[in-house]
Structure 1
Amino acid sequence: MLSIVKRILGQMKNDKRSLGLLLFAPLLVLTLLFFILSDSSYVPKLAVYDMSEKFVTELENHATVSEETEKPEAADYLEANGIDALIWTDSEGTHIELLEKNSKSAAALEAIQDTNKALQPTQNELIIDYVYESAGDNQLDSLSFVFLGVISFFFVFILSGMSFVRERFGQTLERMLMTPIRRIDVIGGYTLGYGLLAAVQSVVIILYAVYVLQLQVEGSVALCTLVMILMAFSAVSVGALVSIFANNELQLVQFIPVIIIPQIFFSGLIPIDTIPFGLGNLCYLTPVYYGCTALEMIMIQGKGVVEIWPWLAGSVAFIGVLFLTNVTALKKYRRL
């Protein structure tokens, strides 16, 4: 028994990659959780129309406030100006309009409630309306874009990454590189081949979610499918890149806490601008961010191509950068 223990510890000591991931990956995830889910310093941005000066003065102690001389159209105004809530009052009570249910909306409502408590114990009735009502129907509908994006990306990453590792482990890739075939053709063939399989998976997932599970989609199902396919090709490219640093399937799986889990935090599960210390800017380095943001805009907000094209362009750019990186990385197996 002791000899087995000694052998296992010796193997782990010699496997610097596994040892490093064993110690580093949990610390990375815990650190991200600490910064992202700890008390946020986010200050809600509120707009008021036809509210008392006393209310506005007290509200400024809890939020950033802008006063409007004319009542704006809530949907366009909130999105265009990055405002969390629009507040006005009439004979029915105090109206509060928000985009959707998330932590930013919760912070806005908390600021308004704190203001009312400070001003008067018997406050007017709060009439709360959401621009995107479908986002509040149930938890699955409100977070469907996160689940679809992350689940699809994860399984495609595993499929492509392990397939690339097997190609190398079976020396198929090395034998192929002994021929005059160009590196760009090798990567292009693998990416297109596995990407087409992943695209089929993406189509099946989105059709099953919409027509079987009856997940609500305010926009175009075809556009959702396009976004999912782009995410699939991104996942294939990421899997190919990670497989370069893994010698077997186990080592590929060990990269999941470093490659996949951090991306979940930037998928829209947490509003990006509420993440403290500027860590939200890391979202631009993760392909899941572009795909899930586009899915949210289509499924929850009913947006079209005109509104989501920057995120589509981001996904395409990510695929291109990863493709060139993988072509360059093949120099590890062929010296030209």
Structure 2
Amino acid sequence: MSKNGSPFKITRYISIVKKEIIQIKRDPGSLAIALVLPVVLLFLLGYAVSSEVENIEMAVWDQNQTSASRDLIKSFENSHYFTYHVNAVSYQEIEGMLDRGEVSMALVIPKSYSNNLTKDTASIQILIDGSNPTISKTALSNSKLIAQDKSIKLQMEQLNQLGAGEMVQPIKGESRVLYNPNMEVMKFNIPALIGLIMQEVILILTAFSLVREKEKGTMEQLIVTPIKSSELILGKLTPYVGIGLFSFLFVLVTAIGWFEVSIEGSMTLLLVLSMLFLVTTLAMGILVSTLAKNQLQAMYMAFAIILPSVILSGFVFPREPMPYIIQILGGFIPLTYYLEILRGIFLKGVGIQELWTQTIILSIFTILLCVATILRFKKNLE
């Protein structure tokens, strides 16, 4: 066994790297996880994860049955937020469909709708299933906008008929959306998905590394060698850096080619900072591997890291509205800063000047995790 004061030797480090490469080749399942699973997850989550609500099923009870009421219904249909699901004939039928979840919204047009349009104000009723806040908020806001837009158009028609001329709005707002002009959700989600998927796959893959040595009994062979902890940890880390980089490039090409997500910033900067995040995640996985006694424990620990990352990093929910203490907890997650890097380079085209804070924090995470892993590892069978 080596003495604690023996220097780091590159030959021993290279030997561990070669040994780990041979072990990876003998385990094609792990290699498939690293190369195939990220792309599969990108396709599944790329189409499944979306905060944009469209095609809300809508029931209509049209008691008026006039061209005016049909024109109002057409206004709802023409928007991509609502889909005309079924005609209803009573409140009981509408309530039944809402109870069963067949529709999320109902539009009720009274008998006096067309007559009231020419006199004063015509009322309509909108019933919304509020059990799902995301859908209900979208349905409520857009139904109000459609009704308001329809009201303005009718007022303009009435003024034109009276010869009053065109109605002039006292305030005219001119807006311009930067970075993502069409506000496409896919362009916002795909870069973040790349970071999330790479963390999940690489973390799980490396979390089993040292545990596998213990369970297969090969740890005893390492104990009687002069290999130092730093040589073993770095030697095991190196092959997975290459695998992680290749997997990242594979996912990146898929995102650009299939999902048509463009990179507005520097590709070189993206690769460099992605490499930094990969090393951070690999070090985290190796640390889990040193803490776990078996592969089941390693899996539980890995998921204990992954699940908070999904919620607190800003991937699903924006971090700004979160309570301050929750924002602080999210600051201890490396994925939080990598998502800011990805979205900054993909969407805004920013450079290192705008991302130096995230880069420094990720570098600190990498150093601390590598040091903690080396200190934690002991060449014995505890």
TM-score by length of 1: 0.58
The whole-number CA distance in structure 2 between the counterparts of 1:277 and 1:314 is 19
Partner in structure 1 of residue 328 of structure 2? 281
1:309 aligns with 2:356: yes
Number of residues of Structure 1 aligned to a counterpart in Structure 2: 219
Residues 1:161 and 2:207 aligned together: yes
Letter of the 1:177 counterpart: I
Q: Tell me how large the CA RMSD over aligned residues is.
A: 2.9
CA distance in 1, matches of 2:298, 2:205: 11
Determine which of 338, 346, 355 is the counterpart of 1:299: 346
Query: Percent identity, aligned pairs only?
Result: 23
Q: Is 1:238 aligned to 2:284, yes or no?
A: yes
Alpha-carbon distance in structure 1 between the residues aligned to 2:347 and 2:246: 24
Q: Aligned to 2:237, which of 171, 191, 205?
A: 191
Cα distance in 1 for residues equivalent to 2:244 and 2:290 = 20
8 Å Cα contact 1:187-1:326 kept in structure 2:
yes
Aligned to 1:62: none
In 1, Cα distance between equivalents of 2:376 and 2:346: 37
Instruction: Name the counterpart of 1:172.
Output: 218
What is residue 331 of structure 1 aligned with on the other side? 378
Check conservation: 1:219, 1:304, Cα contact below 8 A: yes
Q: What residue identity is the alignment partner of 1:283?
A: G
Instruction: Report the Cα offset of residue 321 of structure 1.
Output: 0.7
| Aligned counterparts of 1:190 and 1:293: Cα–Cα separation in 2 | 29
**Consecutive unaligned residues in structure 1, runs of 5 or more:** 1-102, 114-120
Structure-2 change in CA distance of 1:279 and 1:163 (3 Å): same
Deviating 4+ runs (over 3 angstroms):
121-128
* Inter-partner Cα distance in structure 1 for 2:381 and 2:345: 44
Q: 1:208 aligns with which of 230, 243, 254?
A: 254
What's 2:12 paired with?
Answer: none
Contact 2:288 2:302 in 1 (8 A): no
Q: Distance in 2 between matches of 1:312 and 1:277?
A: 23
Residue 42 (structure 1) aligns with: none
Give the partner amino acid of 2:338: G
User: What is the alpha-carbon distance in structure 2 between the residues aligned to residue 319 and residue 173 of structure 1?
Assistant: 26
Does the aligned pair in 2 maintain the 1:206–1:224 contact within 8 Å?
no
Q: What is the match of residue 293 of structure 2? A: 247
Please state whether the residue corresponding to 1:129 is helix, strand or coil. coil
CA shift in 2, pair 1:172/1:204, >3 Å: same
Q: Distance in 1 between matches of 2:219 and 2:191?
A: 36
Partner Cα distance (2:365, 2:197) in 1: 19
* Structure 2 unaligned spans of 5+: 1-133, 145-151, 153-168
TM-score when normalising by structure 2: 0.52
Amino acid at match of 1:156: I
Alignment of 1:1-336 (within 5 A): 124=171, 126-134=173-181, 136-269=182-315, 270-331=317-378, 333=380
